[in-house]
Amino acid sequence: MHDLFLGEQPYGWFAIIGIVLVIQANWVFHDAEKRGENKWLWGAFALLNTPSNLLIYLLVTRRLGKRHTCMHCGTKILNQHQYCPVCGEEQKEA
């Protein structure tokens, strides 16, 4: 039986990195869905690299994407929007 980590091609490390990427993408996908973000875009983005893409996702969605709920239709929208992009209602400042 051949050791996966011996030789010029460390196949075992490729498998470990692949598993980590799939777990990261799955978590980002479900978190983006829960937060009302584009889940497919963020999930695919998380498949590209680890951990830097996870850090970018957390920074963008937690710091730059502060949201509130539209009082008319209940959609989560960015705080800087003056009008809801779904129903068009003007947003009152909190």
- Reduced to 3 states, what is the DSSP secondary structure of residue 20? helix
The residue range of the domain holding 52 is 11-65
Q: Per the domain annotation, does 27 fall within a domain?
A: yes
Amino acid letter, 50 = T
pLDDT range class, residue 3, cuts 50, 70, 90: low
Q: Which of 89, 55, 56 is nearest to 72 (CA)?
A: 89
What's the pLDDT tens digit per position in 28-86?
999 988 887 889 999 999 999 889 999 999 988 877 667 788 888 888 887 777 888 88
- Judged against a pLDDT cut of 70, whether residue 14 lies above it is answered with yes
Q: Per the domain annotation, does 20 fall within a domain?
A: yes
Q: Per the domain annotation, does 75 fall within a domain?
A: no
42 contacts 13 by C-beta, under 8 angstroms: no
Q: Per the domain annotation, does 77 fall within a domain?
A: no
Structural domain tally of the chain? Answer: 1
Spatial distance between the Cα atoms of 45 and 92, rounded to a whole number of angstroms: 34
